[in-house]
Chain A
Amino acid sequence: GQQLNQSPQSMFIQEGEDVSMNCTSSSIFNTWLWYKQEPGEGPVLLIALYKAGELTSNGRLTAQFGITRKDSFLNISASIPSDVGIYFCAGQRNTDKLIFGTGTRLQVFP
């Protein structure tokens, strides 16, 4: 079935560093979303993107909807320890249900 590939799979960074991750698909999506999941919890919606080329920020987080509509990017600036978690992208086509990516596991060291 449909799959969204995220990279990198894991990141180990030092506090204060910037982080970049991406999500790619072989299909076009109309909406791209980024969620964060902390251990033992459900995912929490961070950013929603609605059209190609769109750039949206939420605090230190910035996400972009790729021009081809087949990819999306998430950047975290000046990382802090509470950024630790798994970041999932998710895509939606028309009225289809959400399809989640494979996740990027972020670890931040002080």
Chain B
Amino acid sequence: EADIYQTPRYLVIGTGKKITLECSQTMGHDKMYWYQQDPGMELHLIHYSYGVNSTEKGDLSSESTVSRIRTEHFPLTLESARPSHTSQYLCASSKSGGPEYEQYFGPGTRLTVT
């Protein structure tokens, strides 16, 4: 069973606010990912990390930023939220040395910006 956690599960905030979405995993995985998903639609990779102090942008351009200071923690930050950022954000991780596609997903954070 996957041990990957995301908080908050739901967030409604006003335009211009700074927010941080938390993601933690207790599996010791080196690789972590952030995906953006509109309801019922496909997932788009926005950030990934192969280890501490390693972060890369994904295929979908995003105004968010990420950091990886500890192996187990991969937070995503929006400096100034806008209504266009309304979406579901999914965090995932995969084991070191294993297939990258064996990604374990967290439950997601549903963000609404008013």
Contact = CB atoms under 8 A, between A and B. Distances in A.
Partners in one complex: yes
Interface of A: 1, 4, 31, 33, 40-45, 48, 86, 88, 90, 92, 95, 97-103, 105
B102 A92 contact: no
Interface in B58-96: 58-59, 90-92
Nearest to A44: B105
Interface in B90-112: 90-92, 99-103, 105-108
A31 B101 contact: yes
Contacts of A43: 43, 90, 105
Contacts of A4: 42
B45 to A, nearest CB: 5
A88 B42 contact: yes
Given A92-B100, A97-B48, A98-B101, A42 B108 contact: yes
A45 B43 contact: no
Interface SS of chain A? strand
A47 to B, nearest CB: 11
A101 B40 CA distance: 11
Interface of B: 4, 9, 33, 40-45, 48, 58-59, 90-92, 99-103, 105-108
Contacts of B106: 42
A43 B104 CA distance: 8
A97 B58 contact: yes
B107 A48 contact: no
A41 B101 contact: no
Contacts of B48: 97
Nearest to A9: B40
Contacts of B59: 1, 97, 99
B81 to A, nearest CB: 22
A90 to B, nearest CB: 7
B58 A102 contact: no
Given A31-B101, A98-B100, 20 more contacts: A1-B59, A40-B9, A42-B90, A42-B91, A42-B92, A42-B105, A42-B108, A43-B105, A45-B103, A48-B99, A88-B42, A88-B43, A90-B101, A92-B100, A97-B100, A98-B101, A99-B59, A100-B43, A101-B42, A103-B40
